[in-house]
């Protein structure tokens, strides 16, 4: 097999084809001029990283590729891109890289875990650098990682919304399943009255760490609001989503009560929706998952509400 780094032109062409589908004004130079030149340098560096793991510092703060991504982020901000569209552009690049990688290697070959982790870290760092252009007036903490929730370290709502839109586009194009699992701490305000801020943050961090540990590398886990969380599961139908949600639900039912003091214990409500099995319109996925989560309030605490197209949310 020829060196994978020789595929940079193909990766660039795939990025150009997909990014031009973004809903931005026609006069914006998406893939030509400065944007195309910066992306060409970035794609070469990304593919070189597959074979040269010592290149990872180039993608970290202070590295030349990290700086390149930051300049592209500033350009996109000048062109009127929203932060969600910047996220979508990064997801496009990430997805097309893995599509190209799977095409280039033997399909029987097991992808090295360290390679997968290195490449995903590379794309996270590129997005972090580009997104920083949207937070010049924010705190240093947000500047350093504008894609993450500052308390839990999970992805924040802005990143999640952009990523969900792109995953839905992929699901439509390739006819793949996509399941969204939502859950919330229903009595969050009462817990705030009972617990100190430190104890509440400790519980939220614990929830986040277990969500990250008990989901797959390809899943997108986020904190959407004070007491609500989401897990986006690519290439997963509602049955697979239900298995994952039930496993998490049982675990938290067992562990969380021991982390609080007083009479109030966390009450978790779980809902999920799946495209295209039950949700036929992709832009309805989030709304239907919220509907199912609200219906979970009428179920027992160990049940997951599943959105059904025939009867709405609520089936456990």
Q: What is the pLDDT of residue 311?
A: 54
DSSP-derived secondary structure letter, 276 = T
269: CB partners within 8 A, 6+ apart: 183, 184, 186, 293, 294, 296, 297, 305
Q: What is the pLDDT of residue 110?
A: 45
Q: What is the pLDDT of residue 163?
A: 84
Dihedral sign computed on CA atoms, order 74, 283, 97, 141? positive
Dihedral sign computed on CA atoms, order 248, 254, 255, 260? positive
What would the pLDDT profile of 113-168 be if each residue is shown by its tens digit?
Answer: 678 778 888 998 998 899 888 875 444 444 456 678 989 999 988 888 888 887 88
Q: What is the pLDDT of residue 5?
A: 66
User: What residue ranges do the domains of the chain occupy?
Assistant: 4-144, 167-315
- Binned at pLDDT 50, 70 and 90, residue 6 comes out as confident
**Mean per-residue pLDDT, 256-284:** 89
- Binned at pLDDT 50, 70 and 90, residue 179 comes out as very high
Distance (Å) of CA 259 to CA 3, 222, 225, 265: 52, 21, 21, 9
CATH class (in words) of the domain with range 167-315: alpha beta
CA dist., res. 29 & res. 187, Å (int):
48
Q: What is the pLDDT of residue 241?
A: 96
* Mean pLDDT over the full length of the chain: 86
Lowest-confidence pick of 106-115, 135-144, 173-182, 271-280: 135-144
CATH architecture of 4-144: Orthogonal Bundle (1.10)
Percentage with pLDDT > 90 across the chain: 48
Lowest-confidence pick of 112-121, 163-172, 268-277: 112-121
Q: What is the pLDDT of residue 213?
A: 93
Which tokens is 295 given? 């219906």
What would the pLDDT profile of 13-34 be if each residue is shown by its tens digit?
Answer: 988 888 887 776 666 778 889 9
- Binned at pLDDT 50, 70 and 90, residue 109 comes out as very low
174: CB partners within 8 A, 6+ apart: none
**Mean per-residue pLDDT, 191-197:** 88
**Residue 202 pLDDT greater than 80, yes or no:** yes
- Binned at pLDDT 50, 70 and 90, residue 173 comes out as confident
Q: What is the pLDDT of residue 315?
A: 61
Q: What is the pLDDT of residue 261?
A: 72
Q: Do domains 4-144 and 167-315 have the same CATH topology?
A: no
Q: What is the pLDDT of residue 235?
A: 92
**Residue 3 pLDDT greater than 70, yes or no:** no
**Mean per-residue pLDDT, 247-251:** 95
- Percent helix, percent strand, percent coil in the chain, to nearest 5: 60, 15, 30
What would the pLDDT profile of 204-247 be if each residue is shown by its tens digit?
Answer: 999 999 999 999 888 999 999 999 999 999 999 999 999 999 99
What would the pLDDT profile of 60-107 be if each residue is shown by its tens digit?
Answer: 999 999 999 999 999 999 988 888 788 888 888 888 888 888 777 654
């Amino acid at each position: 097999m020829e060196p994978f780094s020789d595929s940079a032109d193909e990766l660039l062409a795939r990025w150009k084809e997909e990014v031009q589908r973004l809903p931005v004004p026609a006069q914006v130079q998406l893939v030509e001029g400065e944007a195309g030149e910066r992306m060409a340098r970035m794609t070469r560096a990304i593919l070189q990283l597959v074979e040269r793991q010592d290149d990872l510092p180039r993608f970290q703060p202070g590295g030349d590729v990290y700086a390149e991504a930051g300049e592209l982020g500033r350009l996109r901000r000048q062109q009127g891109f929203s932060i969600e569209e910047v996220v979508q552009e990064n997801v496009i690049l990430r997805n097309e890289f893995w599509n190209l990688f799977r095409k280039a290697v033997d399909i029987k070959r097991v992808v090295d875990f360290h390679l997968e982790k290195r490449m995903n870290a590379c794309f996270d760092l590129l997005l972090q650098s580009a997104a920083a252009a949207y937070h010049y007036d924010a705190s240093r903490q947000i500047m350093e990682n504008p894609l993450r929730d500052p308390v839990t370290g999970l992805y924040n709502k802005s990143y999640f919304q952009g990523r969900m839109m792109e995953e839905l586009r992929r699901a439509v194009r390739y006819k793949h399943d996509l399941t969204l699992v939502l859950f919330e701490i229903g009595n969050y305000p009462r817990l705030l009255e009972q617990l100190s801020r430190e104890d509440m943050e400790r519980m939220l961090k614990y929830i986040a760490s277990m969500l990250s540990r008990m989901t797959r590398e390809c899943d997108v886990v986020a904190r959407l609001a004070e007491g609500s969380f989401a897990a986006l599961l690519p290439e997963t139908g509602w049955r697979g989503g239900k298995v994952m949600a039930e496993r998490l639900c049982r675990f938290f039912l067992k562990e969380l009560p021991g982390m609080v003091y007083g009479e109030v214990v966390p009450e978790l409500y779980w809902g999920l929706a799946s495209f295209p099995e039950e949700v036929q319109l992709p832009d309805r996925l989030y709304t239907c998952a919220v509907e199912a989560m609200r219906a979970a309030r009428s179920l027992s605490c160990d049940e997951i509400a599943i959105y059904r197209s025939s009867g709405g949310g609520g089936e456990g």
